[in-house]
Amino acid sequence: MKKGLFIALVTFLVLGFNNVYAMSKNDLEEKLIKSYTINGTTFQASDSDITKIKRYIKQNDISESDADYISKKVDEAIDIIEESGVKSLNELTKKDREKLVSICNDVSEHTAIKVTASKKTITIYNMDGTIFDEFDSEVVKKTGTTNILLMTSVVSLIGVAFITRKKF
């Protein structure tokens, strides 16, 4: 789970991008599925997660402003992890986790992509209000690198927030 969640976050990195232009859906998709290296470790979304990412972006009209906003917030999240020097989310300090939670809240407040989390279930919604995907939060904790939901940066961050907030 730890490495999988780390992969989830890493997947949405937009490293080296200056964001001088608004990001399109296609740009966002490309960035979400490519591989990245953080603190010496290379990560990439699994096959199934790439499938979900592509399907979500294809089906939902993510605005350029939302895509751009998400991209910037992911950069902030990755900066936090890079500065911490950790290779696993479980190694993050409580303070760093709280920072990630704040980022999740911020993205959820400012974009149209909605995720809810209960004690047992994490639910991702399409923009028409229907459910896009749903999974057991325990699965996120236990599953391996090939079986993590890597939806959007919002999802992964909120997923992290959900997991990490329980340890506060």
Q: Are 34 and 42 in contact (CB under 8 A)?
A: no
Nearer to other proteins, 18 or 118 (CB): 118
Indicate whether 30 belongs to the interface with other proteins (CB under 8 A): no
Among 55, 61, 79, 82, binds other proteins (CB under 8 A): 55
CB-wise, 24 or 126, nearer to other proteins?
126
Place of tokens 């961050």: 157
Contact residue for other proteins among 16, 20, 85, 118 (CB under 8 A): 118
63 scored as a contact of other proteins (CB under 8 A): no
Centre a 10 Å sphere on the Cβ of residue 1 and count the other Cβ atoms it contains: 20
Taking alpha carbons only, the member of 97, 75, 58 closest to residue 16 is: 75
- One-letter identity of residue 73: K
Number of Cβ within 10 Å of residue 8's Cβ equals 27
Angle at 57 between CA 70 and CA 110, to 5 degrees: 30
Among 26, 37, 41, 51, binds other proteins (CB under 8 A): 51
12 is a contact residue toward other proteins (CB under 8 A): no
Number of residues that bind other proteins (CB under 8 A): 41
162 counts as binding other proteins under rule CB under 8 A: yes
- Residue 100 to residues 20, 23, 68, 79, 87, Cα–Cα distance (Å): 24, 22, 18, 10, 15
Helix and strand element counts for the chain (H, E): 7, 5
**For other proteins, which is the closer residue by CB, 15 or 25?**
25
Q: Does 134 bind other proteins (CB under 8 A)?
A: yes
- Site residues (CB under 8 A) for other proteins? 46-49, 51-52, 55, 59, 98, 101-102, 104-105, 108-109, 114-118, 125-126, 128-136, 143-144, 146-147, 149, 158, 161-162, 165, 168
